[in-house]
Amino acid sequence: MSAQKDRWVSSFSFLLFCVSSIPTRGSARLLQELSPQEYFGSLQAGRASLAYFSHNGMYLTIENSAEALQDYGISVVKVICPKEDVSRYCGKENALRKAYLFRGNMLIREFPTDALFDVNSIVANVLFALLFNEVKYVETLADLQNIENALKGRSNMVFAYVPAIGTAEHRAVMEAAFVYGTVHQFVLTTEATLLKDTGYPDVSSARLLFCHCQRATDLAQPCRRTAMGQALTMLNIHKHLKLMGAPLVTEVAEDPEKVSTVHLQLGLPLVFILSQKETYEADRRTAEFVAWQLLGKAGVALLSRYALRCFGGVPIKYLVLEDTDEVITLVEDKSKVEQIQEDEEEEEEEEEDEDEKENNNQVSRDKKRELPLEQILVLTEETFHSALLETARMVVLFYASWEAVSLAVLRSYTEVADHLKGTRGVLLSRVNCWDWPGVCTEENVTQFPTIKIYEKGERSVMYNGMWGTEELTSFIMLKIGTSFPSELSSYHHTSLLGVFSTATTREAFEEAGSILSGHVTMGMYFEDDALTLSRKYAVSPPAFLLARSGGQSVEGITLSKQNTQDMVQMIRYELLDIFPEITVQNLPRYLQLRKPFLIVFSDGDIGQIESKEMLKLTKGRPQQEFVACWLNLKKTPVGRGVLKAYFATMPSLPVLIWVNFHAGGQVFKFPSEQSITELNILSWLEKLKAGLEVPSTLSEEDWKPPLPAYDFLQMMETATPDPGGDTTTQEEPSQETKAEKIGSPGRDLRGTAPRLAAREKQGKRHSEL
């Protein structure tokens, strides 16, 4: 599947490349800087260019768009006006706030620079101006109908509605028009009422309709329309137009396995309708009917019966056609799953379920492939105790060889062993509790997997962190106090220094240290050193100094708690960042605060402005009732899944969201048209509090069993009726039908074993016995 995707993507980029190869003149810089004379002298007929005039090296967003516009043969030029120049473009003060679009030396349009606020708007506006003929702008239904009628029988129409000019959707439509403008007539509108009139009441998002006017013959009837289901992006539009351009029904006479249509290339299903010579005409009509229903969702092919030989390993489902609706529901159900969030969860379950199985399968595969386990010492009942004595520090993984989670962890463990290869003073080992239950019971291992670190002559410590390679490695490294291997240099650690003048709280601090060991580096100062330090950092002992990971500053915090548990709690709290990047690994730590999240989803690193504003927001208010944080979608791609669950389509990034996990589960989206500033956020939060915004809510669903189990009780009772009951008179269904009937809900427990031949005979034999 992904190969097909790739193929398609590459063909598309090839197309773009053809377009873009025209204008390149070998200049290394996309943005040219010319003097007015040079510029006007270089203008070629038919070539479009976007120019802005400037007296100095002022930077404008336009420069960013140079690359994008170059793809369409439009050069972006910065014209440096000499100081004394008072010509038409350089002279006037307000001309300097505009950009000019030329074709040849003809001025087509001037744009105020504030209309060109980002790359999307520049590309959209420039193309809109250039493709004046190809893209008709309409405002009323009558205009639309006129164009439609004119096109009937000649060519097809692409009708797009965008809520505003200069948006990403607008750009996508314009870019599509650039490529397809000569094939189809493009019509654009921003009028919400017009879209409503065409029968689409939801005007909040952009929409694109393909109108099949070429085939239309009846002037009185509007052309048949196929709406595009996905968000308006260039790729989606391209895909949609490609599908619309494909033949309605493909006739196939060859091996269906070898058939390749646009649909298959785009990863869409292809419905084969088997046909015979005698019924060809009727079948063809059926196929066309189905094809119209499925247009844009699936392809339809008419397959001559006699050509059918065998379908090798392709997972093809047969359906006896009783009603064409069945085909349509089948295909549409599939695509629904992708759109409806609820369903997505369900499906996630399905997959995870497989996932567990997969872990196991993985294992069985591993059995053949052999994990590189030679770094890890295998311990047995006999060798366990002696091995512990021989090594300064021994890390032991207790696991069960049949258990899926254990085996997943074992994989990470081998990676840890790899990281720690050659590290002195620590040895990694494992005990398979399925082979040696005695050791595991003795060591109080009640769960699989368990990792313990034994120090010679000291008590053992149970590892209680995430089961990941990085976390485990860093834990072990901190435990043994060695510097980190270079692969993990990104994994920073916080150091904590206790400053004490008396011995009272010191013991508690030491105990806290042993609880937190492996997570934080801890140290302690007392007496004279303590005095110096407390003066330096302006804290009075007992206190602790905190050097955050990667940070330069050291914070001094007074230790107000006396007992160990409270101290651990306090240290854990202090270890949390004020504006953290949320990752899969650290989310639970912040959730433990049981506060709502104010979270920025950012594609890549968070922007400096957002970061600054958010910090401002948090720093001023130490006792915040929410957690301000952000998420890097590049680093934590699952964040996209979160956004997709919140909004049917991906919102434009960065996006600020308020999630209240604990009470009510409301989710609010910060309005995208506002910029993320402290003030805006605060006023928005006020609005939320006042209940002025309508939230969406997190699913409240319970985690129910994903699939039913076999109801053996019922099977047994039907097979051997209760002697007390009156079920004896009731005629029993035969074993076979029972098995089928009952077996079907749990059919997903599939592939357990090949079906026993003559099952029903056995059933009879049972009753004879």
Torsional sign, CA 646, 647, 651, 656 = negative
At its nearest, how many Å lie between another protein and the CB of residue 255? 18
At its nearest, how many Å lie between another protein and the CB of residue 676? 20
Give the span between the Cα atoms of 213 and 148, in whole angstroms: 7
Contacts to another protein from residues 455-474, by CB under 8 A: 464-471
Give the span between the Cα atoms of 216 and 470, in whole angstroms: 63
Contacts to another protein from residues 231-250, by CB under 8 A: 231, 233, 235-236
Q: Which is nearer to another protein, 650 or 688 (CB)?
A: 650
Closest CA to 53 of 107, 1, 4, 8: 107
At its nearest, how many Å lie between another protein and the CB of residue 314? 11
CA 567, 572, 578: angle at the middle one, nearest 5?
A: 130
483 Cβ contact list (under 8 Å, min separation 6)? 477
- Interface residue with another protein among 165, 246, 274, 715 (CB under 8 A) is 715
Per-residue x/- mask for another protein, residues 681 to 710, rule CB under 8 A?
Answer: -----------------xxxxxxxxxxxxx
Long-range contact set of residues 347-352: C-beta below 8 Å, sequence gap at least 24: 349/706, 350/706
Which token pair is 425?
């003073």
At its nearest, how many Å lie between another protein and the CB of residue 147? 29
Which token pair is 101?
């679009």
- Interface residue with another protein among 220, 320, 538, 690 (CB under 8 A) is 320
Place of tokens 């950092």: 537
Site membership for another protein, residue 404 (CB under 8 A): yes
Contacts to another protein from residues 182-221, by CB under 8 A: none
At its nearest, how many Å lie between another protein and the CB of residue 49? 32
Give the span between the Cα atoms of 246 and 261, in whole angstroms: 8
Taken as a whole, the chain contains a residue count of 769
Site membership for another protein, residue 346 (CB under 8 A): yes
Q: Residue 351 gets which letter from DSSP?
A: H
Contacts to another protein from residues 585-614, by CB under 8 A: 585, 587-589, 591
Give the span between the Cα atoms of 446 and 500, in whole angstroms: 39
Closest CA to 166 of 210, 129, 203, 208: 129
- Interface residue with another protein among 362, 375, 611, 624 (CB under 8 A) is 362
Contacts to another protein from residues 158-177, by CB under 8 A: none
Site membership for another protein, residue 318 (CB under 8 A): yes
Give the span between the Cα atoms of 516 and 501, in whole angstroms: 22
Q: Which is nearer to another protein, 19 or 742 (CB)?
A: 742
Q: Which is nearer to another protein, 569 or 675 (CB)?
A: 569
Q: Which is nearer to another protein, 359 or 501 (CB)?
A: 359
Contacts to another protein from residues 724-763, by CB under 8 A: 739, 742-743, 746-747, 749, 751-759, 761-763
Q: Which is nearer to another protein, 70 or 473 (CB)?
A: 473
Site membership for another protein, residue 722 (CB under 8 A): yes
Q: Which is nearer to another protein, 43 or 591 (CB)?
A: 591
At its nearest, how many Å lie between another protein and the CB of residue 489? 17
At its nearest, how many Å lie between another protein and the CB of residue 89? 42
The terminus-to-terminus CA distance of the chain in angstroms comes to 54
Give the span between the Cα atoms of 285 and 299, in whole angstroms: 15
Number of chain positions touching another protein (CB under 8 A): 136
Q: Helix 404-419 to helix 341-369 angle, to the nearest 10 degrees? A: 60
Q: Which is nearer to another protein, 57 or 315 (CB)?
A: 315
Is 23 in contact with 42 (CB distance < 8 Å)?
Answer: no
Q: Which is nearer to another protein, 156 or 432 (CB)?
A: 432
Site membership for another protein, residue 385 (CB under 8 A): no
Element spanning 117, H or E:
none
Stretch that binds another protein, among 16-24, 51-59, 216-224, 353-361 (CB under 8 A): 353-361
Element spanning 509, H or E:
helix 504-516
- Interface residue with another protein among 118, 143, 191, 381 (CB under 8 A) is 381
Interior/surface letters 131-151, b for 16+ CB within 10 angstroms, e for the rest: beebbbebeeeebbeebbeeb
At its nearest, how many Å lie between another protein and the CB of residue 359? 7
DSSP result, 600-665: EEESSSPPHHHHHHHHHHHHT-TT-SSEEEEEETTT-THHHHHHHHHSSSPPPSSEEEEE-TTTTT
At its nearest, how many Å lie between another protein and the CB of residue 752? 4
Residue 374 burial by Cβ neighbours in a 10 Å radius (0-12, 13-18, 19+): exposed
Closest CA to 33 of 7, 2, 59, 68: 59
Give the span between the Cα atoms of 309 and 652, in whole angstroms: 49
- Interface residue with another protein among 59, 117, 306, 402 (CB under 8 A) is 402
- Interface residue with another protein among 254, 350, 487, 736 (CB under 8 A) is 350
Site membership for another protein, residue 569 (CB under 8 A): no
At its nearest, how many Å lie between another protein and the CB of residue 324? 13
Q: Which is nearer to another protein, 14 or 318 (CB)?
A: 318
Closest CA to 371 of 308, 334, 416: 416
Is 640 in contact with 633 (CB distance < 8 Å)?
Answer: yes
Site membership for another protein, residue 447 (CB under 8 A): yes
Q: Which is nearer to another protein, 55 or 747 (CB)?
A: 747
At its nearest, how many Å lie between another protein and the CB of residue 377? 16
Q: Which is nearer to another protein, 81 or 172 (CB)?
A: 172
Contacts to another protein from residues 259-278, by CB under 8 A: 267-269
At its nearest, how many Å lie between another protein and the CB of residue 100? 36
At its nearest, how many Å lie between another protein and the CB of residue 364? 8
Backbone phi, psi, residue 545, to 5°:
-105, 135
Site membership for another protein, residue 713 (CB under 8 A): yes
Contacts to another protein from residues 646-685, by CB under 8 A: 646, 649-650, 659, 661, 665
Q: Which is nearer to another protein, 41 or 708 (CB)?
A: 708
Q: Which is nearer to another protein, 89 or 399 (CB)?
A: 399
Q: Residue 30 gets which letter from DSSP?
A: S
Backbone phi, psi, residue 492, to 5°:
-90, 165
At its nearest, how many Å lie between another protein and the CB of residue 447? 6
CA 102, 106, 108: angle at the middle one, nearest 5?
A: 55
Is 462 in contact with 445 (CB distance < 8 Å)?
Answer: no
Stretch that binds another protein, among 100-108, 441-449, 501-509, 526-534 (CB under 8 A): 441-449
Closest CA to 19 of 155, 127, 157, 110: 127
- Interface residue with another protein among 24, 27, 44, 329 (CB under 8 A) is 329
- Interface residue with another protein among 435, 455, 581, 678 (CB under 8 A) is 435
Backbone phi, psi, residue 314, to 5°:
-70, 130
